[in-house]
Amino acid sequence: QVQLVESGGGLVQAGGSLRLSCVASGSIFRVNAMGWYRQAPGKQRELVATISRDGLTNYADSVKGRFAISTDNGKNTGYLQMSSLTPEDTAVYYCTLGWFRGSDYGVGNWGQGTQVTVSS
C-alpha cells in the first residue's frame, strides 16, 4: 500500500516559480516510475512530466523547458520544479506513482492534488 502526500501548491505571479513536493510512503517498488498530471476546468487532464527509476525524464510540449521533474530516492520524495509560470499553468496538480509499458505511462497511485494558481 502506497500513500502520496503533496505540498507546495499556492498562488504565484506570472513569471514566477514554484516547487511541488510529493512524499511517498508504504510499499514502494523499484519498478515504479513517477509522473505529474494537471487538470484545469474546461481542459483535458494532461500528463506534464514523468521520470523513470533510471532517471529518464519526459515532458509535455506545453511545459518543456520550464518544468523539471526529479526525485530524491533517499527521502522517498519527488518534485516538480516549475518556472516561467503563466496563467495557462493554473490547474490542480497530481502526483502519481506508476509504471511504463513501453513508452506509455500508467498510474498505480494518485496523490490528493494541490492547487496551483498563476496570476497575470
Residues across the chain:
120
Cβ-in-10-Å burial (0-12, 13-18, 19+) of 30 comes to exposed
What secondary structure letter does DSSP report for 118? E
The better pLDDT of the pair 32, 15 is held by 15
In tens, the pLDDT along 34-61 reads 999 999 999 999 999 999 988 999 999 9
Which pLDDT score, from 0 to 100, does residue 29 have? 64
Residue 76 in this model has a pLDDT that exceeds 70: yes
Of 87, 52, 84, give the one whose Cα is nearest residue 67. 84
